[in-house]
Structure 1
């Protein structure tokens, strides 16, 4: 067991070096933030100051590891994808470092309009870093979209669809500053700071929120579709892995073309979910309190996705029986 684990760790260590160094730094920040959550009782806009660095560290570690694994697969344009991944690693590290530094200082990393020169410089770096991360992901998605990056069709489609969903999630993050919901907030030291925008819709930031995520329970929250879209990549990859595992038990799933079509259905359904969550947030509606319209739209989306999956499976069953029938006739 230890030999297998050692071999796996050595293999992972050979993945894209800048990305894995960034992931290592995120794991270190994860530990520091976890300790901070325990020993540092300061609160910023109703949330522990170390909660945001903690969440950023988890998200960046998961996404960076996923990206490093994808780039370890044979593909054309590897020099370009490696360079783009390095851009992602460096900017991701810098932006997350700013989040951690601001948390330690007890002030805001996002939308901080303080006139202090140090704050203004950090805001410029942070904003440009966010843009670079999204542009690097768009370029990666385009390069990988024109080629089959995995021998298994379903996994290849999961990579293509997942990268697209991640870019959509990143783009949705720009809806937050577009609100232009300026407000005055207090640092942990009691200093008044102007924030140019906020993530909540219909209510001030810092109100009641869900455990850990702090997503608003009294109004809309644009962080929700942003998060769901951003990690659509991991959802699609997990879906492909689950279908591959089920294929050992269910012959209907053994054809990777069937599994690829099911991943396509899942991607369309997931896109609908992102749209639904965005619509819900923009209507100032809490995630846990959907109205009749939201519930109806969710039910319709679920039904359409289920029907589409059923159509794929029925077609696969007919193709399988047709092939068996032809084989019998030939015999």
Structure 2
């Protein structure tokens, strides 16, 4: 994957071809970085398992294998100058996309198996345990948004179309978009909740690491119960944010142009989160002890790998 990321970066420089409004090598570049970070994240989670390590190894191997299959097809289609996703132009293109779809389903099931193993793992620090469990659960929901992209649009249902499925909602793919991400600025874009959901796998564990690091200096955070409340609160708020951006995208609304209903929901979510955080921090804190203030033994001190954009 690292070599492919390097090749794709070179392709972005030397190949000026454009496909569906984006440089043709942008997709394999983003996907290769995403799979590198995603694989490292799952490997890090596997290191925390105290039981079912063999099953975890097989699940991880399946995730890696399906990732390789998808990247081979994406790169091959770039070389041919054809789109990889939603392409039904020829029987060959349709077969390649169907193989990718099967690979994604298997990858999702492999990640689900890892989530089940993680749910059963015995991790001493409860805040750490729930950050990991909630993070991978929300990441699975974010990955599942990809299945919505494969559904035919209203225009595609009305007749024969070489393309079945889309990232955008309410507008055609390849229109005006945001820099770097490529998300639509004129309609909804399902890559937004896809991205937000997948990043829970990194952000929630990072939060508990930050709380643990601050515990020796902030009396309230020295209490493991307070850290647990904050992690559960953050997980709930993050899940609500994921639901909000999914709802926004499905209504055909660009991320950067929210309507009144979206802004109201976002404001209510922000207020509820702030109030709940204040209540959690006001809870009585017991005197810090060695177990409360020290970083949890079963939770790695280093940050998990930052996930790249998992967008198409």
TM superposition score category, shorter chain reference:
0.7 to 0.9
- Aligned-partner Cα distance in 2 for 1:124–1:292: 39
Task: Check if 1:170 corresponds to 2:143.
Answer: yes
Deviation by residue 1:43-87 (Cα, 9 ceiling, x = unmatched): 001100011111111211111111111111242111111111110
State whether residues 49 and 118 of structure 2, in contact with CA within 8 Å, keep that contact through their aligned partners in structure 1: no
State whether residues 88 and 162 of structure 2, in contact with CA within 8 Å, keep that contact through their aligned partners in structure 1: yes
- Relative to its length, the structure with more helix (as a share) is 1
Task: Check if 1:114 corresponds to 2:80.
Answer: no
Match in the other structure for 2:103? 129
State whether residues 182 and 194 of structure 1, in contact with CA within 8 Å, keep that contact through their aligned partners in structure 2: no
State whether residues 265 and 308 of structure 1, in contact with CA within 8 Å, keep that contact through their aligned partners in structure 2: yes
Match in the other structure for 1:8? none
Match in the other structure for 1:10? none
- Aligned-partner Cα distance in 2 for 1:299–1:89: 40
Secondary structure, in 3 states, of the residue corresponding to 2:185? coil
Match in the other structure for 2:229? 261
Secondary structure, in 3 states, of the residue corresponding to 1:250? coil
Partner of residue 281 from structure 1, selected from 249, 267, 288: 249
- Aligned-partner Cα distance in 2 for 1:137–1:182: 34
State whether residues 178 and 185 of structure 2, in contact with CA within 8 Å, keep that contact through their aligned partners in structure 1: yes
Match in the other structure for 2:11? 36
- Aligned-partner Cα distance in 2 for 1:182–1:110: 17
**Root-mean-square deviation (CA), in Å?**
2.0
Deviation by residue 1:79-132 (Cα, 9 ceiling, x = unmatched): 111111110010011112211221222111111112233x23322221110000
- RCO higher in structure (CA 8 A, sep ≥6): 2
Question: Given the superposition, is the C-alpha separation of residues 182 and 50 from structure 1 closer, same or farther in structure 2, using an over 3 Å criterion?
Answer: farther
1:171 CA displacement: 1.1
TM-score by length of 2: 0.87
Match in the other structure for 2:66? 91
Task: Check if 1:313 corresponds to 2:286.
Answer: no
1:179 CA displacement: 4.4
Match in the other structure for 1:304? 272
Partner of residue 141 from structure 1, selected from 104, 115, 132: 115
Deviation by residue 1:148-176 (Cα, 9 ceiling, x = unmatched): 3x333222111101110111011111111
State whether residues 220 and 281 of structure 1, in contact with CA within 8 Å, keep that contact through their aligned partners in structure 2: yes
- Aligned-partner Cα distance in 2 for 1:182–1:120: 19
Q: Could you say which structure has the larger radius of gyration? A: 1
Question: Given the superposition, is the C-alpha separation of residues 95 and 200 from structure 1 closer, same or farther in structure 2, using an over 3 Å criterion?
Answer: same
Extract unaligned runs of 5+ from structure 1: 1-25, 184-192, 324-331
- Aligned-partner Cα distance in 2 for 1:182–1:126: 24
State whether residues 49 and 117 of structure 2, in contact with CA within 8 Å, keep that contact through their aligned partners in structure 1: no
- Residue correspondence of structure 1 range 1-331 to structure 2 within 5 A: 26-117=1-92, 119-148=93-122, 150-181=123-154, 194-315=162-283, 318-320=284-286
State whether residues 222 and 285 of structure 2, in contact with CA within 8 Å, keep that contact through their aligned partners in structure 1: no
Match in the other structure for 1:20? none
Extract unaligned runs of 5+ from structure 2: 290-312
